[in-house]
Amino acid sequence: MSVAASAAFLALASVPMVSAQVTGDSLVNAGKSSDDWVMYGRDYRSTRFSELNQVNDSNVKKLVPMWTFQTGVLDGFECTPLVSGGIMYITTPWNHAFAVDAKTGAQLWRYDRKLPDGLALCCDAVNRGFAILGDRLYMTTLDAYLVCLDAKKGDLIWEKKLGDYQAAYSATVAPLIVKDKVIVGISGAEYGIRGYIDAYDAKSGDLAWRFYTVPAKGEPGSETWEGDSWMNGGGSAWVTGSYDPELNQLYWGIGNPGPDFNGDVRKGSNLYTVCTISLNPDTGKLNWYYQTSPHDIWDYDGVNEQILIDEEIKGKKVKAMVQAHRNGYFYALDRTNGKFLYAKPFCKVTWGKVNDDGTVSVDPKAMPTKEGVPAFPGAAGGKEWVPMAYSPKTHLAYVPVIENGATFTSHEIFYKKGIAYWGSALNLIKDQAKGALRAIDVRTGDKKWDFPAKSPMVAGVLATAGNLVFTGDAEGNLIAFNAKDGNVLWKFQTGSGIHAPPITYKIGGKQYIAIASGWGGWTAGFAGDGAPWLKNSRKGDTMYVFGLFDETASK
Amino acid sequence: MKVFLKIGSAVLFALFLITATSCSRNTTPPSKATAAPNKSANPFQGKPEAIQEGQNMYRSYCSGCHGGSGHGGKCPDLTDDLWIHGGADEEVFLTINKGVSGTEMRNFEVGLKPEEIWKLIAYIRSIAAAGGESAWKPFEDGDAAHGKALFSDAKGQAQCYRCHMVLGEGGRIGPDLSRIGAKRTPDYILESIVKPSADIVDGYLQFTVTTKNGTETIGYKKNEDNFTMQLISTEDELVSLEKSDIASVSTNKNSVMVEGLEKLLSKKELHDIMAYLKTLNGKPASK
């Protein structure tokens, strides 16, 4: 070997390798003792639980920043970064993206999307992250495209139009890879769109199937929509679903009907809005649905993530799924068939109640009027989209909770292409907002411990085998808790409010914790007048990565 | 006291009439020399039916970002005097019609007719912070220069400056009054002087915080997060506390401002102070 060649070899050896490719199998096994983080919810069960335990309840106090990465994009930073083969993949607001050496923070490439003016965005210019398969990355965009990038170079391989942004279709969801397909859901139900979930061929980008979340006239379920109201019926699918490879069922939560607050123009139960649905991922055919809030009029999207659990519920081991719903109830369903197991409120609820059989009784006094009526929770829900975590070791789900109500109004509205179709508004009850990280036993729905917070808790959660739970707060602290009892073990001020989920990964025998810090999102919905102290909160754009302090490593 | 209370209720009634019938505010900024004062480019300005239509549109199209009450959320507060893209009617119209590139503010021309945008603006003007005219005029007889002297007199009865700052001078225990004349009606200012606890401005609610070692601090919260709390104490000190050191926190319903200033000052003196406060618009006094 010549000198030049060996120098080149050495240079290559020090560069992180992308060769450890993410395959269909590695996605199926993502939850099992993987050092990487290769999908949005960590695994197909969306547990956000990692077996890594080098950082644990006995040494977490020694957690210090290893590197930070400022993207320069100041808006709601909602990304779950992916880590594969030593590289971290980050998406930012306004659809910029970066690949970064996950050990050092050095930038490898960046991707910038030129977005058109005139986007219709209800809730900040956000993006929740990539999906990865092989050496390709997939991201949805605010102008309603699915883009496929080369993971090695950041170059665009192809892009596919999901919808017409001029008719207010947009996309923010982190895609989910199932076998050879890329699954995405559309956004825009605040603007009178008709929602859908799409599957695209991961190689060619060809549309494999589309499932409309609002059935057309004559299709099953269309009898739940009055007249032509289905045409603008909403039903966004803006949060990444879960998948059970054994049952071959894809689970997805469906958002609010449109218009949000005026149900008079869409009489009926409005399927499949505010539903949990199960699809066959190969065909897009509906297996079953479960509607949590029929004919919703409080914008209680049913989109929140579904964590798949195998636990004993009511004396029987079941293949279940749990969801902390925006309507304030913690639900458990049988994921084989969608049968109701239990639902318990996890925050203050006044819109009505979920009965023991899963049916819903609405309090007529809580229904939006022209003058406005208060109801709990507010429209951002008892929990926003920010994902909870579940630890099979403690049997607990760790739920970031918003405690606040809103005054809901309603008025007549006519659909106009491209502009908001709310049918009125909500106004958070002044100065009353607060939050909590709440640990809930998934077997019963009962609260185990609680960390009360000054402001709504709107960051995602990570649980680890080190008996740790991580989440962020609105004031910018990343906090580590004892997973069993909720004691605060460590905290770090990141400089901007946290509205993203933490992740963990391991490279070269060292465990890292990463969090995106950057305040934003639908702050009018979860902070606003309810938490006026968060008004004008400073923005941020920084990925923080932490590891245990190692005296021997300082050179 | 009784005299003032009587005046107060009459004033409140008058104020009610004003808000119910007209919503004139400083709709034309002082910088727009070409626009006639108090003349709006908006054909629907102050028209109740238009304002009602505007409210419906506001709720559906604007509240998601600017908040249900217009106090902002992710996007700017529409009830204060700060207009990033211009506060004149024509400028607000342009912002709504064409949108703001690079932000979430889209071009509403795609769905709204010009007259609808004007109605929307009429509503936005109606929810803007209190200001405007009041039927209560005695302050106009007051001597603003004398009022200023009373405000700043270290040996006087009022000593307002000890707690209130005006254009960089004064204390920080109470709200900064540099723009109080532009922001608040005379009725409100009067009420704040004679009944300081009637409406405590956001952020100035007083707390008594006792630490585990027995130290007591009274003051308003400057900042708080899940682990710390910062107060401006009645001693004008910035006090930073770790929550783990705090034994108790209680809220005080009453303002720290002394009650009964109307007994310490003559009616004339009160009118003078009012006249001075009404001149405060955030700008140095013109020579």
Residue A351 to residue B155: CA distance in whole angstroms = 58
Domain annotation covers residue B168: no
Do residues B142 and B181 touch, judged by C-beta distance below 8 A?
no
The answer for B204, left when phi > 0, alpha when psi is -120 to 50, beta otherwise, is alpha
Straight-line distance from the first to the last Cα atom of chain B, in angstroms, rounded to the nearest whole number:
36
Question: What are the C-alpha distances in Å from A283 to residues A200, A287, B35, B226?
Answer: 11, 11, 64, 48
CATH code at position B235: 2.30.30.100
The larger pLDDT score, comparing residue B36 to residue A511, is at: A511
Strand pairing report for A434-441 and A468-472: unpaired
Determine the pLDDT at residue B132.
Answer: 44
Q: What are phi and psi of A141, to 5 degrees?
A: -125, 160
Tens of pLDDT, residue by residue over A86-120, are 999 999 999 999 999 999 999 999 999 999 999 99
> For residue A331, which of A440, A426, A477 has the smallest C-alpha distance?
A440
- End position of a domain, from candidates B104, B127, B150: B127
Residue A44 to residue A249: CA distance in whole angstroms = 11
Determine the pLDDT at residue B134.
Answer: 52
CB contact under 8 A, A524 and B58: no
The answer for A428, left when phi > 0, alpha when psi is -120 to 50, beta otherwise, is beta
Give the pLDDT band (50/70/90) at residue A436.
very high
Domain that holds residue B95: 26-127
Residue B56 to residue A261: CA distance in whole angstroms = 12
Tens of pLDDT, residue by residue over B118-134, are 999 999 988 875 444 45
Q: How many domains in chain B?
A: 2
Instruction: Please name the residue ranges forming H helices in A127-186.
Output: none
* Residue A22: pLDDT over 90: no
Domain annotation covers residue B74: yes
Query: Packing angle between helix B2-21 and helix B186-194, nearest 10 degrees?
Result: 150
Judging contacts by C-beta atoms under 8 Å, the chain B residues touching residue A479 are: 226
What percentage of chain A exceeds 70 in pLDDT? 96
Domain annotation covers residue B158: no
* Residue A474: pLDDT over 60: yes
Determine the pLDDT at residue A33.
Answer: 63
Q: Which of residues 219-278 of A touch B (CB under 8 A)?
A: 259
- Residue B206 has which token pair? 């007083």
Residue A251 to residue A335: CA distance in whole angstroms = 9
* Residue A130: pLDDT over 60: yes
What integer is the mean pLDDT of A131-158?
97
What integer is the mean pLDDT of A28-55?
93
Determine the pLDDT at residue A11.
Answer: 46
Query: Residue A493: helix, strand or coil by DSSP?
Result: strand
Tell me which residue in A124, A420, A427 faces B69 most closely, judged by beta carbons. A427
* Residue A168: pLDDT over 70: yes
Determine the pLDDT at residue A343.
Answer: 98
Tens of pLDDT, residue by residue over B143-165, are 999 999 999 998 888 889 998 99
Mutate to test the interface with A, among B74, B98, B101, B103 (most CBs of A within 10 A): B74
Q: Is the peptide bond before A377 cis (omega within 30 degrees of 0)?
A: yes
Give the pLDDT band (50/70/90) at residue A16.
very low
What kind and span of H or E run contains A324? strand A316-324
- Residue A382 has which token pair? 């008892």
Q: Which letter does DSSP use for residue A1 in this model?
A: -
Query: Residue A229: helix, strand or coil by DSSP?
Result: helix
Domain annotation covers residue B165: no
Domain annotation covers residue B115: yes
* Residue A548: pLDDT over 70: yes
Average pLDDT, rounded, for chain A: 94
Neighbouring CB atoms inside 10 A of A508's CB total: 7
Domain annotation covers residue B221: yes
CB contact under 8 A, B72 and A421: no
* Residue B29: pLDDT over 50: no
Determine the pLDDT at residue B33.
Answer: 34
Domain annotation covers residue B150: no
Q: How is the beta sheet containing A426-428 ordered, strand by strand?
A: A373-375, A406-408, A426-428
Average pLDDT, rounded, for chain B: 80
Least confident segment among A318-327, B28-37, B173-182, B278-287: B28-37
Tens of pLDDT, residue by residue over A331-356, are 999 999 999 999 999 999 999 999 99
Residue A360 to residue A351: CA distance in whole angstroms = 10
- End position of a domain, from candidates B127, B153, B175: B127
CATH code at position B117: 1.10.760.10
The larger pLDDT score, comparing residue A255 to residue B61, is at: A255
CB contact under 8 A, A524 and B64: yes
The larger pLDDT score, comparing residue A33 to residue B14, is at: A33
Determine the pLDDT at residue B64.
Answer: 83
CB contact under 8 A, B64 and A422: yes
Determine the pLDDT at residue B263.
Answer: 85
Domain annotation covers residue B88: yes
What percentage of chain A exceeds 90 in pLDDT? 86
- Residue B287 has which token pair? 């020579």
- End position of a domain, from candidates B127, B154, B176: B127
How buried is residue A283: exposed, middle or buried, by Cβ count under 10 Å (0-12/13-18/19+)?
exposed
Query: Residue B224: helix, strand or coil by DSSP?
Result: strand
* Residue A82: pLDDT over 80: yes
Determine the pLDDT at residue A554.
Answer: 53
Please give the interface size between A and B, counted as residue pairs whose CB atoms are below 8 Å apart: 126
